[in-house]
Amino acid sequence: MADIPNADVCYLDKMPPEVRQKIFGFAIIFEKDVAPFQVKKRSNKFFWDKAQKDPKKASDVPQLTAVHLSRCSKKIYDEVATTHLFYQVNQYVLNPSLFPESTEDNN
């Protein structure tokens, strides 16, 4: 009879941090470019999908895997959030209207 793994043991914790980071990186990569939209003008908070702006559609937009991972445990949250892994493994398209004109352009 085959041994059944103990469900109370987290084998992810037993892996070296570099291996966990590789796994997390594969898990949180977004299949298309991320195009953030500001929640409101002058805010440092962003939506990652236009549908999130509409309260009727917002609940239909799935949360990012990075959000789910960060809710697993404090340790995983720290490893994903403090390493800025989401920003390292994804590509972004920024809307130029989000940035004020530079002073050099006005001279």
DSSP letters, 16-52, are -HHHHHHHHHHHH--SS-B--EESSTT-S-EESSGGG
Is the pLDDT at 106 greater than 60? The verdict is no
Is 100 among the domain residues? no
Query: Do residues 27 and 65 touch, judged by C-beta distance below 8 A?
Result: yes
Is 102 among the domain residues? no
How many independent structural domains does the chain possess? 1
Is 73 among the domain residues? yes
Task: Write down the pLDDT at residue 100.
Answer: 57
Is 52 among the domain residues? yes
Q: Which domain holds residue 55?
A: 16-94
Is 101 among the domain residues? no
Q: Quick: pLDDT tens for 20-71.
A: 999 988 888 888 888 787 777 777 777 777 777 777 777 777 777 777 777 8
Is 45 among the domain residues? yes
